[in-house]
Structures are given as structure tokens and as C-alpha cells.
Amino acid sequence: MIIDGKALSNQLDISMKAEVKALREEGIEPKLVVIIVGNDPASQIYVRNKHRKAIKLGITSIIERRPADFTQAELLALIDQYNRDDTVHGILVQLPLPKQIDKSVIIRAIALEKDVDGFSPENVGKLFSNSHEHYPVSCTPKGIMTMLAHYKIDPAGQHAVIVGDSNIVGRPMGALLLNAGATVTYTHILTQDLSSFTRTADILIVATGVAHLIKADDIKPGATVIDVGMDRDENGKLVGDVDYDQAKEVAGAITPVPGGVGPMTITSLMQQTLELTKVANH
Ligand code: GUN
């Protein structure tokens, strides 16, 4: 089975569009601010895609572009301006940031009620303590949970193996799966004999940035394989961290690249923008 993130994203757009329309009829204008500093090529594409999706749904999207030599003090001032702007519901600072800027300082500067990425220590703490409150979570793991639910893949009691320990994907992904009742194993760059872990996964999440790291032999027959990679192969073609052509013969369900996780990440961002808009206006 192919897990079609693009189709699910398009399906969810229909209800989100209706929701935005209803909010606007109440005089509420959902508004997202995306700040991008520097010229990272992948970030440029991500930000453009976020903007397009927001426009498609009727969400107001402001993109603030700043040069690579923008200072931390200048960025803090820009964030402060939007923290104090009551018409803004979500603030996202695109990562990575240039080296003169400390990302943890920046993440903590975003007002908690506008932390649409869920990266603040408070929101991460709620995730890892399985809080019953409503809180935003990192968009990629959230989108993956939405896909699993849609395809009726229940993590409860399953062995989930995470490959890659990033703050944006691997770590929050493991927490969400744990909260959903999975037995979770984290693997990362220092893990020895990676395959001995991945082969025991009922649900395998791969987020390393290494093209075609995972081969058919690394996958348990029938497993669900979620590929977060957006890599380039030797010919410059966009590929995932999983060797899709061989993996699809072994996996029970698998996400393609492109058209799997990517569209769902953006969908999650839009859902969380609407969520923060509603919380601000209730
Ligand atoms: N860079 C890569 N993924 C993300 C994300 O989800 N949010 C932000 N802010 N930056 C990113």
C-alpha cells in the first residue's frame, strides 16, 4: 500500500478552506508570519510552499525575508514586533538559521501562544509528559500521525523505530508514538548495527538526510515505512532516505518521496495556525 500524503493533504484542504471561510465571516482573519533569514536553498522552497498553501486556504501569510548577515538582536526585535501584534496568530522562524544566531534563544523568544511550530521548551515539555492540554507540536511528526490515523495504522502495542534524533522530527516523533501506545526505539548516527533495530520495526520512521540509507533488507516484511528524507541522488533527483523501489516490495505500507510526508507537514502547519487562531479568539 502506498501512503499518499499529497492526496490526503488535498482532501484536508477542503475542510480547512471551509473553516477559514467561517472564521472570516465572524470577522476573524487567520494570520501566519514566516521569517526566513539567509539563502538556504531548501528553506526557500519550503517557505514558498507554505505561503502557497496558506493563500490557497485563505489564510493570510506574511513572509519576512532577511539577509544572511541579519543579527540576533535584529531578529529578536522582529519577533517582538509580531509578538505584540494581536492580528498575528502564528510565528514561524524557518530553520536552519545563520551561525551568528542562537536558535534556542530565538525559539524561546516567540510568544508561547504563537509558537506554531511547537518548538518552545514548554510545548516540547507538554509533548514529552503527554499533557492533556492542547499544545502545538512539530509539524512533520504531527503530519505523520495524521497519515497513520487516516490509513488506520494504530501504533498501540507496535514497535516503532525512529532513525534520526533531530529536535524537529525524530525526538518529537518518538514522543507522539509513545503517547499513542507504541514501544519506541530511538536510533541515531552513533547506533551500531542499525539494521538489527530497523528489521524489528512494525513502524519505521526514517529522518536522517542520507539518501537511500534504508534498503529492502533493513525492513521487516509488512512493516509501515515512513520516509521523511528530501535528498538528492547522484543525478540531482529528489529522493528519500529509503530506497523506495526496493523497499516497496517488502513494506506493508510506504510513503513516496515526493508526495508523502512533505505535503502533510504543510497541512499540519495550516491546521495549527487555525488552532492558534481559534484559541486566540475564543
Ligand atoms: N526547517 C525544516 N523543517 C522545519 C520546520 O518544521 N519548522 C521550521 N521552523 N523550520 C524547519
pLDDT at 138: 98
Q: Where do the domains of the chain lie?
A: 28-113, 139-262
| Helix residue ranges, H only, the chain | 5-25, 41-57, 72-83, 103-109, 121-128, 139-150, 170-179, 194-198, 244-247, 261-281
Model-level ipTM above the cut of 0.85: yes
pLDDT at 141: 98
Find out whether the beta carbon of 117 lies less than 6 Å from any atom of ligand 1: yes
Task: List active site positions.
Answer: 50, 94, 117
Question: 164: annotated binding-site residue?
Answer: yes
Could you tell me the end-to-end alpha-carbon distance of the chain, in angstroms, rounded to an integer?
41
Mean pLDDT of the region 74-102: 98
Q: Are 119 and 112 in contact (CB under 8 A)?
A: no
As a whole-number percent, the residues of the chain with pLDDT over 70 amount to 100
Residue 89, SS3?
A: coil
Per residue in 44-55, pLDDT tens? 999 999 999 999
Find out whether the beta carbon of 166 lies less than 6 Å from any atom of ligand 1: no
Question: 243: annotated binding-site residue?
Answer: no
Mean pLDDT score of the chain, rounded to an integer? 98
pLDDT at 282: 86
**Bridge partners (DSSP) listed for residue 94:** none
Mean pLDDT of the region 162-191: 98
Mean pLDDT of the region 268-281: 98
d(CA 95, ligand 1 centre) in Å: 5
pLDDT at 145: 99
Per residue in 1-31, pLDDT tens? 999 999 999 999 999 999 999 999 999 999 9
d(CA 168, ligand 1 centre) in Å: 7
Q: Could you tell me which CATH class the domain 28-113 is placed in?
A: alpha beta
Q: Is 249 a residue whose pLDDT tops 90?
A: yes
Query: In 10 A of CB 242, how many CB atoms?
Result: 32
Find out whether the beta carbon of 95 lies less than 6 Å from any atom of ligand 1: yes
Q: What is the DSSP letter of 114?
A: G
Question: 165: annotated binding-site residue?
Answer: yes
pLDDT at 217: 98
| Cα→Cα distances 243→1, 2, 211, 233, 255, Å | 16, 14, 8, 11, 11
Per residue in 94-113, pLDDT tens? 999 999 999 999 999 999 99
Matching fold, domains 28-113 and 139-262: yes
Q: Is 80 a residue whose pLDDT tops 90?
A: yes
Distance (Å, rounded) from C-alpha 179 to C-alpha 105?
28
Find out whether the beta carbon of 168 lies less than 6 Å from any atom of ligand 1: yes
Per residue in 127-151, pLDDT tens? 999 999 999 999 999 999 999 999 9
Q: Could you tell me which CATH class the domain 139-262 is placed in?
A: alpha beta
In degrees rounded to 5, what are phi and psi of residue 179?
-60, -25
